[in-house]
Structure 1
Amino acid sequence: MSSPTPRHPSSPASGPASLERTLGPWQLWGIAVGLVISGEYFGWSYGWASAGTLGFLVTSTLVALMYACFIFSFTELTTAIPHAGGPFAYARRAFGPAGGYLAGAATLVEFVFAPPAIAMAIGAYLNVQFPGLDARTAAVGAYVIFMTLNILGVQIAATFELFVTVIAIVELLVFMGVVAPGFSLANFTAGGWAGADSFTWGSVAGIVAAIPFAIWFFLAIEGAAMAAEEAIEPTRTIPIAYIAGILTLLVLAYGVMLFAGATGDWTKLSNINDPLPQAMKVIVGENSGWLHMLVWIGLFGLIASFHGIIMGYSRQIYAQARAGYLPRWLAQVHPRFHTPHRAILAGGVVGIAAIFSDELVSFGGQTLTANIVTMSVFGAIVLYLVSMASLFRLRRLEPALPRPFRAPLYPLLPGIAFALAALCLLTMIWFNPQIAALFAGLLVLGYLYFRLTAGQRAAAHDDTLLQAVPAAD
């Protein structure tokens, strides 16, 4: 193993396939929160079906602790190596090409499989207003509209993301205010331990089975790292965006969960894609203007995440293609709009295919949306594990690497994030063996492609990331 060649990683990519630095701290905060905020609108309530409201509260608290520790640790990597590949870039620098492959593949699974779940929720929300509208047709329409918007330019896309994110936050606060008169803690706690009124050891199984849906509250916040090459002063703006973002999401996640569960029979809100409109319907009735407002404005939360994750997956595909891990033609940047248009379209093709893949991913007694969410979470957890391992390894390999933001309480915080992520992965494999097998199969197929394309990576001379351990791997 040879020693790494030092070079400061913050220099922007050069050559024709370069991105432009135009994003400020508020836009990055909008991306960080917007990537995630759909998790406050749907997805989490599937956890109630497994754990009950009180059991899921325990699950959510453990997952929130993991994410808080992870973000404060992950920010060190993001500011030290501001690269469009995000976790792929960190693992590649720490562990060489094979490490880059594993992190990159996991990130692609997370970011490519999350949008179809959100698109289906958009279809479910629109179906409340237009019962004759097929949810899948609406989901495909959402892909077409927001892939186009992402292609038109990062400044336009990021400004739109900030706009819809702020509206989505306001709408969640409005939801809590409107249902507050019907708040009853007795409703929230009734049968709150997986259908029982008191905790038993049997409740533990439900608590751990609900982990993927608690993760959905925060899933993809790390995607803001993929805008690092388009951020102005990333070493300053990214920490602001991440820290403000995780605090925003913590408040919203607990608020939405508590107020929705306290409106009435919470069991009627589990296993559905539109828990907030249904919860509000209990308080204001089916014909209330408040309900229609929630449906229409609530779409902004789904759109914010959908639009933001398209931005995230496209930068990940672009960065991996630029480095030779994916076909080179995916690294093409639009000559007019300076956006990775081919990467945007490629991720959309996979997402739309997932929407119509009932026979492939609808198993295990769960809905199509629940299984797509679980698949995305598998990718996220592996990404978190590899990222924290990269942090530890780079601290040892490159102690002189400029670190504008250092993980506080190192090694405690990244250690907690790693341990909790490992626990999440083990329990998810136990409770979702079929999806785990499908996820593993995708990783194996990807690794075969990785092994067959060494020449493609060797020819990728214009990728600005220098590996820390180039010779051994």
Structure 2
Amino acid sequence: MTATKLKPTLGTLHLWGLAVGLVISGEYFGWSYGWGTAGTLGFLVSTLLVAVMYTCFIFSYTELTTAIPHAGGPFAYSLRAFGPTGATVAGLATLIEFVFAPPAIAMAIGAYLNVQFPSLSPNVAAVGAYFVFMALNILGVSIAATFELVVTVLAVLELLVFMGVVAPGFSFSRFALGGWAGSDTFSPAAISGIFAAIPFAIWFFLAIEGAAMAAEEAKDPKRTIPRAYIAGILTLVVLALGVMMFAGGVGDWRALSNINDPLPQAMKTVVGDNSAWMHMLVWIGLFGLVASFHGIILGYSRQFFALARAGFLPPALAKLSRFQTPHRAIIAGGVVGIAAVLSDGAVNLQGMGLTAAMITMSVFGAIVMYIMSMLSLFKLRRSEPQLERTYRAPGYPLIPGIALALALVCLVAMVWFNPTITVIFVVLMVLGAVFSKLVRGRGAIDPQLATEV
């Protein structure tokens, strides 16, 4: 049988770059759709709620990533805790999260390039991005991770530059003007808007957990992963709050609430259309989108790979290229993403365009996966007390309990406000589970692999 082991080459800095890079496009676009739903102040409440959930989640999730360093991430933890059924739910939810996020990011890349090259179709640019970054991921994880680190550092610096440049034009009164979805803080419309905006608040942090899928490729994962995750979540909370506040307080935030390039448009109100700062933001801002796009391709490919290696998906997806990368898994996710991009204009779910629909679908997968991960943590604490845990969730069981409770609140809100996408998500999960069951029934891969987590 062909070897299917990934090579450990990544250190703490690479893992921090991956954890932050997976997410950082969420600081550049996507989140501003939440303003259209909740207003600036209502969305600030949504974001603070979600930031608490993610902080508690990461401090808890890190226990699982260090105790079970496996490319499957949540799939592997749920397999250990709940067997094949739990693993199927967690694995498919993670796949949906990581396969549906890249089309939204690719479309944002296209929108940013269109600012500089109006004749370039955003869809063509998005498809081109898929081909370029699938190829880079196939060439090797060390090359991919180094590239990810470089573009992530540049993206973080650019967000800091954005805040510095627009700071002189910031006014809290502009940020707060009309900042609730209702007439006042406690109106039914305002409260409803806060919960309806949850998917876009989650977009600020979505996919940070994907760094766990590089655990098999990490050097000394029991030490490097906790450092990378804790530094990563702190970095992202500061950037999310800073970018949102400054972008909303320099002009009419309503003009930014339904577009894919809110930061360049916000900066225009301070420095004008032709400022060198503006052009720098567009060009370097692309690094933020590229960092997440590139990192999430790495993430979804490892999830396909892990599910196939364990016998939950066809074994062909577990094959490695001569560069020791899961090239077939990379291509499989790319085919789905390119098909989604090419459907732009035809997608209109619940009044949403492609970007908002893809974000919402991806968030559904993420929330289900977060719930399964926290349930796995509680289950493994009871069923395997002897499991080596070099890092233990602080404040257990309170901190993981807060993460679980807030994730459940988010899921209920998602279902309530997104009935159409809920149905599509459930259908995808059911079809995926049936397909996975058929693959496992054929015994495509040595069943022993399913227990080696």
Distance 1:456 1:178 in 2: 60
Matched, 1:439 2:425: yes
Deviation of 1:124 after TM superposition, in Å, equals: 0.3
Structure 2 runs not aligned, ≥5 long: none
Does structure 2 retain, via aligned residues, the 8 Å contact 1:322–1:462? no
1:291 corresponding residue in structure 2: 278
Q: Tell me the distance in 2 between the aligned counterparts of 1:321 and 1:198.
A: 49
One-letter amino acid of the counterpart of residue 303, structure 2: Q
Residue 360 and residue 79 in structure 1: after superposition, are their counterparts in 2 closer, same or farther (change >3 A)? Answer: farther
Q: Which amino acid aligns with 2:102?
A: P
Instruction: Indicate the percent of aligned positions where both proteins have the same amino acid.
Output: 69
Q: Is the 8 A contact 2:312 2:437 kept in 1?
A: no
1:368: Cα distance to partner? 1.1
Matches within 5 A, 1:11-26: 16-26=3-13
Q: Alpha carbons of 1:269 and 1:349: their partners in 2 closer, same or farther (altered >3 Å)?
A: same
Give the whole-Å Cα distance in 2 for the aligned partners of 1:250 and 1:351: 28
Please give the secondary structure, in 2, of the residue aligned with 1:463. helix
* Match in the other structure for 2:366: 380
Q: Does 1:163 align with 2:167?
A: no
Choose from 260, 283, 287 the match for 2:247. 260
- Report deviation, 1:361: 4.1
Of 267, 274, 278, the match for 2:265: 278
Once the two structures are superposed, what CA deviation does each residue of 1:8-54 show, in whole Å capped at 9, x if it has no partner? xxxxxx96211100000000000000000000000000000000000
Change (3 A) 1:361 1:97: farther
Matches within 5 A, 1:71-90: 71-90=58-77
| Structure 1 residues 311 and 270, CA gap change in structure 2 (3 angstroms) | same
Is it true that 1:391 corresponds to 2:381 in the alignment?
no
Cα offset, 1:451, TM superposition: 2.5
* Letter of the 1:18 counterpart: K
User: 133, 136, 143: which one pairs with 2:123?
Assistant: 136
- Kindly state the Cα deviation for residue 454 of structure 1 after the two structures are TM-superposed: 2.6
SS in 1 for 2:24: helix
When the two structures are aligned, how many residues end up with a matched partner?
A: 453
Q: Structure 1 residues 449-458 or 253-262, which shifts more?
A: 449-458
294, 307, 316: which is aligned to 1:329? Answer: 316
Equivalent position to 2:104, from 85, 107, 117: 117
Q: 1:62 aligned to 37, 41, 49, which one?
A: 49
RMSD over equivalenced CA pairs, Å: 1.4
* Local SS of the residue matching 1:453: helix
Question: Where does structure 1 lack aligned partners over 5 or more consecutive residues?
Answer: 1-13, 468-473
Compute the displacement of 1:461 (Å). Answer: 4.3
Q: 1:5 — aligned with what? A: none
- Counterpart code for 1:352: I
Deviation at 1:320, TM superposition (A): 0.5
The residue type paired with residue 70 of structure 1 is F
Give the letter for the 2:226 counterpart. P
CA contact (8 A) 2:345 2:353 kept: no
Q: Distance in 2 between matches of 1:354 and 1:451?
A: 26
**Residue number in structure 2 paired with 1:98:** 85
Q: Offset of 1:396 from its aligned partner?
A: 0.8
Give the 3-state SS of the residue equivalent to 1:333 in structure 2.
coil
After TM superposition, the structure 1 stretch with the greater mean CA deviation from structure 2, 256-265 or 448-457, is 448-457
- Structure 2 CA distance for partners of 1:427 and 1:457, relative to 1, 3 Å: farther
The question of whether the paired residues in 1 share the 8 Å contact of 2:182 and 2:188 is answered with no
Matched, 1:187 2:174: yes
1:246/1:170 Cα in 2 relative to 1: closer, same or farther (>3 Å)? same
CA distance in 1, matches of 2:194, 2:320: 45
Measure how far apart 1:363 and its partner are.
1.6
Q: Distance in 2 between matches of 1:457 and 1:98?
A: 16
Alignment CA distance shift 1:465-1:227 (3 Å): farther
Change (3 A) 1:53 1:180: same
Deviation, structure 1 residue 200: 2.1
**Residue identity matched to 1:164:** V
Offset of residue 367 of structure 1: 1.6
Tell me, in whole angstroms, the C-alpha distance in 2 between the residues paired with 1:42 and 1:388.
Answer: 28
- Measure, in 1, the Cα distance between the counterparts of 2:347 and 2:93: 18
CA-CA distance at 1:466 after TM superposition = 3.5
The AA in structure 2 aligned to 1:192 is G
Residue of structure 2 aligned with 1:226, choices 213, 229, 244: 213
From the superposition, tell whether residues 403 and 102 of structure 1 become closer, same or farther in structure 2 (CA, over 3 Å): same
Structure 1 position 447, deviation (Å): 1.5
AA paired with 1:445? Answer: L
Cross-structure match for 2:327: 341
Contact 2:182 2:190 in 1 (8 A): no
Rounded Cα–Cα distance in structure 2 between residues aligned with 1:454 and 1:338 = 25
Q: Which of residues 392, 397, 418 is equivalent to 1:411?
A: 397
Residue 453 of structure 1: how far off its partner (Å)? 2.5
- Give the letter for the 2:103 counterpart: P
- Measured in 2, the distance between the counterparts of 1:64 and 1:259 equals 18
Tell me, yes or no, if the aligned pair for 2:199 and 2:363 is still in contact at 8 Å.
yes
The amino acid across from 1:144 in the alignment is F
Alpha-carbon separation, structure 2, partners of 1:443 and 1:65: 28
1:312 corresponding residue in structure 2: 299
3-state DSSP of counterpart to 1:406: coil
Q: What's the TM-score once normalised by structure 2's chain length?
A: 0.98
Instruction: Report the TM-score when normalising by structure 1.
Output: 0.94
2:223 pairs, out of 230, 233, 236, with 236
Q: Distance in 2 between matches of 1:462 and 1:295?
A: 50
Q: Residue 49 of structure 1 aligns to which amino acid in structure 2? A: G
- Please give the alpha-carbon distance, in whole angstroms, between the structure 2 residues aligned to 1:456 and 1:58: 49
User: Is 1:371 matched with 2:354?
Assistant: no
Q: 1:414 to 1:456 in 2, by over 3 A?
A: farther
Q: 1:440 to 1:37 in 2, by over 3 A?
A: same
Structure 2 residue identity aligned to 1:232: K
Measure how far apart 1:449 and its partner are. Answer: 1.1
